[in-house]
């Protein structure tokens, strides 16, 4: 049994014991960039199929459905609590101007490193758009603090989390009508395109004041139930997808090493989020890893998302995936623990 399998088979009591204790924040602010794994409601008002503002999403969240693609908290929520913030970091679309100084969540479901990624789903905030919104927020912070120099010193102490790239494969390279792209563009070539763009984006954030980066690799998305269903495999993962993602992740590791060398006053950590690779099994002990907890759509742009009915698995704390792509709250807790192990080096 692999590490993740052992980890997830710990008693559910661990879930309650591992919650962070609110106190003085370990960073003065926390800025979050990414896709649906970290989205907390930015897509709610957009014309897109990538939304989670309906039941059963949020069935275990205190405020109910908010736009989080989970039954409860996502990894960014847990991290905010672990870092000592009194509240979750608010989405860009609803954050109050006076609160931006503590941080903003720009993550948008369906978004990617490339601007065209996710266009099959509808509107979304691409990574470039998220950075533009952050530039706008910095202007608000400067107004609140009344001193540009003080603002830059403030931003250099903040945590910047970036978790993006999954949709560049799910809803681009391996997306609808992308067969011709894969014929003409190899996984290595596509990964190079992504890395070149990603490098520009991280340098852009650096120029805007970011110094403490937590950059996540792309998870093994070929193991998601929706991808396994689409490819008709009984194995735990779709190898073709994971192989392509691994090419990007290897290049990203080299990129982070290069940025560490060139940007001497910046710090980068690289959390690795993964799912179990255990062969053609549907569960390990009491943990179900091969099936989603909710009833999911199997066709069209909502493929893999929960159907809008208040029906879920009987024991949500025994499932790895809530829908066809996204983790349950329990899984997000453990993913956040892996992220905190490396984020602690930035404090």
Bigger pLDDT: 328 or 176?
328
Within 10 angstroms of residue 184's Cβ, the number of other Cβ atoms is 8
pLDDT tens digits, 201-244: 999 999 999 999 999 999 999 999 999 999 998 788 999 999 99
- Average pLDDT of 188-196? 98
In the predicted structure, residue 3 carries a pLDDT above the cut 60: no
Q: Are 267 and 202 in contact (CB under 8 A)?
A: no
Q: Are 214 and 162 in contact (CB under 8 A)?
A: yes
Q: Are 153 and 134 in contact (CB under 8 A)?
A: no
CA 177 to chain centre: 25
**Which pair of tokens denotes residue 21?**
């204790």
**Residue 49 to residue 120: CA distance in whole angstroms:** 9
Catalytic residue among 35, 36, 60, 77: 36
Query: pLDDT averaged over the chain?
Result: 90
What is the percent of the chain where pLDDT is above 70?
Answer: 90
Within 10 angstroms of residue 269's Cβ, the number of other Cβ atoms is 18
- Kindly state the DSSP code that residue 33 receives in the 8-state scheme: E
Q: Is 123 helix (H, G, I), strand (E, B) or coil?
A: coil
Domain ranges of the chain: 3-346
CATH number at 3-346: 3.40.50
**Which pair of tokens denotes residue 114?**
């490339």
Highest mean pLDDT (candidates 36-40, 173-177, 181-185):
36-40
CA 312 to chain centre: 22
In this predicted structure, what is the pLDDT of residue 270?
95
pLDDT tens digits, 295-312: 999 999 999 999 999 889
- Average pLDDT of 164-172? 98
Catalytic residue among 49, 60, 323, 336: 323
**Is 326 one of the annotated active-site residues of the chain?**
yes
**Residue 276 to residue 285: CA distance in whole angstroms:** 13
pLDDT tens digits, 52-76: 999 999 999 999 999 999 999 999 9
CA separation, residue 270 to residues 38, 119, 171, 273 (Å): 16, 28, 24, 10
Under the banding of pLDDT at 50, 70 and 90, the label for residue 161 is very high
**Is 24 one of the annotated active-site residues of the chain?**
no
- Kindly state the DSSP code that residue 48 receives in the 8-state scheme: B
**Residue 59 to residue 72: CA distance in whole angstroms:** 7
**Which pair of tokens denotes residue 56?**
């059963």
Q: Order of strands, edge to edge, in the sheet holding 287-292?
A: 283-284, 287-292, 319-321
**Which pair of tokens denotes residue 296?**
């999911």
Helices marked H in the chain — which ranges? Answer: 3-8, 13-17, 75-82, 127-145, 148-155, 166-168, 179-184, 187-207, 225-231, 239-262, 329-343
Catalytic residue among 70, 82, 326, 336: 326
In the predicted structure, residue 9 carries a pLDDT above the cut 90: no
In the predicted structure, residue 15 carries a pLDDT above the cut 80: no
Within 10 angstroms of residue 274's Cβ, the number of other Cβ atoms is 14
**Which pair of tokens denotes residue 301?**
């742009």
**Is 36 one of the annotated active-site residues of the chain?**
yes
- The DSSP bridge partners found for residue 232 are none
In the predicted structure, residue 134 carries a pLDDT above the cut 80: yes
In this predicted structure, what is the pLDDT of residue 80?
98
Candidates 56, 50, 327; CA nearest to 216 is 327
């Amino acid at each position: 049994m692999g590490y993740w399998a052992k980890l997830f088979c710990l008693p559910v009591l661990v879930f309650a014991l591992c919650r962070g204790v609110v106190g003085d924040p370990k960073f003065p602010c926390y800025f979050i960039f990414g896709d649906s794994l970290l989205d907390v409601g930015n897509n709610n008002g957009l014309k897109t199929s990538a939304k989670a503002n309906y039941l059963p999403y949020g069935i275990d969240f205190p405020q109910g459905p908010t736009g989080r693609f989970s039954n409860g908290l996502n990894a960014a929520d847990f991290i905010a609590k672990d870092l000592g913030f009194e509240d979750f970091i608010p989405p860009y679309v609803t954050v109050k101007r006076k609160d931006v100084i503590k941080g903003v969540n720009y993550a948008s479901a369906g978004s990617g490193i490339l601007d065209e990624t996710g266009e099959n789903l509808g509107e979304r905030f691409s990574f470039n758009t998220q950075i533009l919104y952050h530039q706008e927020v910095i202007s608000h912070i400067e107004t609140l603090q009344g001193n540009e120099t003080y603002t830059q010193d403030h931003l250099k102490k903040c945590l910047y989390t970036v978790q993006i790239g999954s949709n560049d494969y799910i809803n681009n390279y391996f997306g609808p009508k992308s067969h011709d792209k894969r014929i003409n563009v190899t996984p290595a070539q596509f990964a190079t395109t992504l890395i070149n763009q990603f490098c520009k984006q991280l340098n852009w954030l650096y120029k805007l004041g970011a110094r403490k980066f937590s950059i996540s690799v792309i998870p093994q998305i070929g193991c998601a139930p929706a991808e396994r269903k689409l490819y008709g495999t009984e194995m735990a993962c779709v190898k073709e997808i994971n192989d392509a993602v691994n090419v990007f992740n290897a290049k990203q590791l080299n990129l982070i090493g290069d940025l560490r060398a060139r940007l001497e006053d910046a710090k980068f950590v690289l959390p690795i989020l993964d799912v179990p690779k255990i062969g053609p099994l549907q569960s390990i002990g009491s943990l179900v890893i091969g099936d989603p907890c909710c009833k999911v759509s199997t066709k069209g742009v909502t493929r893999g998302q929960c159907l809008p009915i208040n029906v879920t698995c009987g024991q949500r704390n025994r499932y790895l995936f809530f829908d066809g792509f996204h983790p349950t709250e329990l899984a997000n807790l453990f993913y956040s623990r892996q992220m905190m192990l490396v984020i602690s080096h930035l404090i």
